[in-house]
Structure 1
Amino acid sequence: MVINPYLNFNGNTEEVFNFYKSIFGGDFPFVMRFNEMPKDATDGEGCAGEGIPENEGNGIAHIALQVGSTMLMGTDVPSNMPQATAGTNVSLCISVDSRADADRIFAALSNGGTVQMPMQDQFWGDYYGMLVDQYQIQWMISFNEAQDGKNGG
């Protein structure tokens, strides 16, 4: 199991991650912009290409930067969604080793909390869900059979 920080920004993710890259070095192993996402990849609750304002299509849907043994990840929050603030600008993304672990951890963390996106197969290949636990901490639970739970990027 690996836990990686996932950062949310109000439109300046690319700038922030280039800043972090200038400090920590390395390359971005993964960058996806909103306009690169499949248009049918949303169920109305997730982060997907549909519903993103056209002028924000070049925004960052997902970016990753390896920092030591941790993957620092981030996204832009589209203007048609609640904007990131202190407390909602960081999630913990846990990459687990099996679907069973994902379901068990998701159920335990969501007990007394709020499910934002139930565990389900996603277009990018992960079995994935999002929640806010009873202590108002945001979690992303992810299992990718191809990556065997080793990282989140």
Structure 2
Amino acid sequence: MSSFIQPYLFFNGTCQEALAFYETALGAKTEMLMRYDQSPDSPPPGMLAEGWEKKVMHASLRIGESVIMASDGCGPDETFSGFALSL
């Protein structure tokens, strides 16, 4: 049985720019991208920041054999920082 890690990155409103950068710098390929206004279910009231309807709800990016998931998050008030992981 093989194991793998599939990271999920949050870009706080700059996911589209990050995807474009990874495509250029790393030869990555965006395989799937869904914006909040394309979701079959609307976000609950108050969950999504105003003006974020066109932001990236979920994206899948392939870099070689690896797949990274990405999102803008739900708004500028819900930032995430200060994370480290060692295995």
- Determine whether 1:65 maps to 2:61: yes
Structure 1 80/10 Cα, relative in aligned 2: closer, same or farther at 3 Å? closer
Give, in angstroms, the shift of residue 9 of structure 1.
1.3
The yes-or-no answer on 1:33 pairing with 2:41 is no
Match runs of 1:102-141 below 5 Å: none
User: Does structure 2 conserve the Cα–Cα contact (< 8 Å) formed by 1:14 and 1:60?
Assistant: yes
Question: So what's the TM-score if we normalise by structure 2?
Answer: 0.76
TM-score using structure 1 length: 0.46
Paired positions, count: 81
In 2, Cα distance between the equivalents of 1:3 and 1:83?
Answer: 23
Distance in 2, matches of 1:86 and 1:8, equals 13
SS at match of 2:30: coil
Measure, in 2, the Cα distance between the counterparts of 1:63 and 1:4.
13
Pairwise CA distance, 1:23: 1.4
Contact 1:5 1:73 in 2 (8 A): yes
Q: Which runs of no fewer than 5 residues in structure 1 stay unpaired?
A: 41-48, 91-136, 138-153
Runs of 4+ in 1 over 3 A off after TM superposition: none
For structure 2, the residue ranges without an aligned partner over 5 or more in a row are none
Percent of matched pairs sharing the same residue? 25
How far residue 81 of structure 1 moved from its aligned partner, in angstroms, is 5.5
Higher relative contact order (CA 8 A, sep 6+): 2
Q: CA deviation at 1:28?
A: 1.2
Mark the structure with the bigger radius of gyration.
Answer: 1
The one-character-per-residue Cα deviations of 1:87-113 (angstroms, maximum 9, x if unpaired) are 2xx8xxxxxxxxxxxxxxxxxxxxxxx
Structure 1 residues 75 and 54: alpha-carbon distance in aligned structure 2, compared to 1, 3 A threshold: same
**Retained in 1: the 8 A contact 2:6–2:68?**
yes
Structural mapping, 1:1-153, within 5 Å: 1-39=3-41, 49-50=43-44, 51-79=47-75, 82-87=78-83
Alignment partners' CA distance in 2, 1:26 and 1:68: 7
The answer to which structure has the higher strand fraction is 1
1:68 and 1:83 mapped to 2: Cα distance?
29
Give the superposed CA RMSD: 2.2
